[in-house]
Amino acid sequence: MAAISLPHKCLPVDLPLQVRSLFVGAWAAAWLAVLRSDAGPAFLRHLLSRPPLTWLGQFGYSLYLVHAPILQLVYLFVVLPLGPVGSGTAILLMLGVGTAASILGAYGFYLAFERPFHQVSRNTALWHRVHLVARTIRGADALAAGRSRPDVG
């Protein structure tokens, strides 16, 4: 994480947030490209291939989608009702309860929405491949029978 957040430390403070975020995004994308190309550090590739992280990666998009509203709910219904707490306590509560709630909520979202749509997508792609093969076979049969178009005669 320190390597990914490095651009924030190196950029001038007076740059607009959008410009700073652009540099951070480009830096993170470059790191991901290095890791994907197997040119990155072996220990990092090994770490990222561990089962708990690959499990999180299955529903990473769902986690991205739901973490902000869940963290807001944790703040409203867990941190605020405690009254004035020190910033350290609030941060620990947000980290502990917020992380657990975000992971559980994201996994539920994944099971309810993302995974079924992936299955529909796979089935649709399979149907299109089967249909294409069937059309190709029909066309080859038509050519063998001396017809120029498979749907004629």
Write the pLDDT tens digit of every residue in 58-116: 999 999 999 999 999 999 999 998 888 777 888 898 999 999 999 999 999 999 999 99
Contacts of 63 (CB under 8 A, 6+ apart): 56, 102, 103, 106
Mean pLDDT, residues 48-53 taken together:
86
Task: Please give the distance of CA 117 from its chain centroid, rounded to a whole number.
Answer: 14
Query: What SS3 state is found at 122?
Result: helix
Residue 27 contacts residue 7 (beta carbons within 8 Å): yes
Residue 152: pLDDT band (50, 70, 90) is low
- Assess whether pLDDT exceeds 70 at residue 141: no
- Domain edge (last residue) among 49, 64, 81: 49
Same domain, 67 and 142: yes
Are 103 and 137 part of one and the same domain?
yes
> In this structure, are 69 and 123 located in the same domain?
yes
Q: Is 38 in the same domain as 73?
A: no
Higher-confidence residue of 141 and 27: namely 27
Q: How far apart, in whole angstroms, are the C-alpha atoms of residue 124 and residue 109?
A: 22
Residue 145, phi then psi, degrees to nearest 5: -85, 0
Of the chain, the percentage scoring pLDDT greater than 90 comes to 30
- Whether residue 45 sits in one domain with residue 58: no
CB atoms within 10 A of CB 99: 14
- Residues 7, 63 share a domain: no
Q: Quote the pLDDT of residue 69.
A: 96
Domain range for 21: 1-49
How many helices (DSSP H) and strands (DSSP E) are in the chain? 7, 0
Task: Give how many domains the chain has, as a whole number.
Answer: 2
User: For the residues 126-135, what does the mean pLDDT come to?
Assistant: 74
| Claim to verify: residue 105 and residue 74 sit in the same structural domain | yes
pLDDT of residue 149: 58
